[in-house]
A and B are shown apart, each in its own frame.
Chain A
Amino acid sequence: MTRIRNYINQAFKDVPKTKKATELQEELISNLLEKYNDQLKLGKTEEEAYTSVIANIGDLSELTEGLRERHVLSPENPNDRRKSAMRIATAVMLFIMSPMALILSTEMYGQEIPGLVMMFALIAIGVGLLIYNAASKPRYLKEEESMIEEFKEFKAAKKKDKAIYDSLSAAFWMFVLVIYFYYSFTYGTWAFSWIIFIVGGAIHNLIEALVALRQPNEK
């Protein structure tokens, strides 16, 4: 019985250990063993049964060859990549332009509030763009179920989470910076308002810790 198992395992030795391959292997072994046991019941010796079972298998290479074809990452659509680059560029441009709204409105009209509103609006659009961009990236497509593929998919999911995290983190610091400038300009508190960065850092870490705690445990 182990000889039949060994024979099949030998035939599959160079085949990538995908789910498909291991299932086919299991299927073959179970069917061949059933046949082998039937032959024994018919009164054949173990040697005869083994020989006749193996003799009828035929050339397994066609079967194993078919399992060797690898499906890797589906090529990224160049159009998607261009769109993604456009979104990132627009977001960065909005970030850079946002303080200009404040400066312009203060310098030209002597009013901070409209400029401030404008600035926050620009930042919000930029952050929205970045988050949309990160979230809409095509996930790793599951072309073939296998342990390797599943691992890649798992990694891709992690990467996407990280991209969202990065965008949110950037937005957070942008807001801190805005508050810093606004307060310092309005009230002239340059001497001690830098403390906001330390407070900001603390809040950032706190949020990070809370999010990590809420996340379900990974296998």
Chain B
Amino acid sequence: MNITSDILRGHTETIILKALLEKDSYGYEINKTIQDKTANQFELKEATLYSAFRRLEGEGYISSYWGDETTGARRRYYMITAEGRNYYQKSRQDWEDAKVLIDTLI
């Protein structure tokens, strides 16, 4: 499990971009999606998640806006940009390449 989470951590940004490909979302919802997809085996730490948002936003791969919730606290939504989509495709390809390499090595 430790090795798995190490590998996963290296792909935090791609995981977030993938989640945003489908629809705009906010921190907790993205983490819930990740949990659901992995059958509760994996969840990002908030520190990791929000640091990744800041980095992705800084790179221009995502942008954010505040929702207009009528009840409860405001949510900050993120949406993927065109650059973000390109970057996702590239990361995806990198991962495919790495998978092939690792498979031949171990």
Chain A residues packing against B (C-beta within 8 Å): 23-24, 26-35, 56-63, 66
Contacts and interface: CB of A to CB of B under 8 A. Distances in A.
Contacts of B31: 35
Given A31-B26, A31-B27, A58-B46, A66 B51 contact: yes
Contacts of B72: 30, 33-34
B50 A63 contact: yes
State the main secondary structure of chain A at its contact with B.
helix
B76 A56 contact: no
A60 B45 CA distance: 10
A63 B73 contact: no
Interface in B8-51: 26-28, 31, 43, 45-48, 50-51
Contacts of A56: 43, 45-46
A71 B54 CA distance: 17
A49 to B, nearest CB: 14
Contacts of B50: 24, 27-28, 63
Contacts of A32: 28, 46
Q: Report which residue of B28, B45, B74 has the largest number of chain A beta carbons within 10 angstroms of its beta carbon.
A: B28
B99 interface: no
A35 B31 CA distance: 10
19 contacts: A23-B76, A27-B26, A27-B27, A27-B50, A27-B75, A30-B74, A30-B76, A31-B26, A33-B72, A34-B72, A35-B28, A35-B31, A56-B43, A56-B45, A58-B47, A60-B47, A62-B47, A62-B51, A63-B51
Contacts of B47: 57-63
Contacts of A26: 73-74, 76
Interface in B69-106: 72-76
B75 A31 contact: yes
A144 to B, nearest CB: 12
A28 B73 contact: no
A28 B74 contact: no
Contacts of A30: 72-76
Contact of A57 (B46, B73, B75): B46
Nearest to B75: A30
A204 B76 CA distance: 53
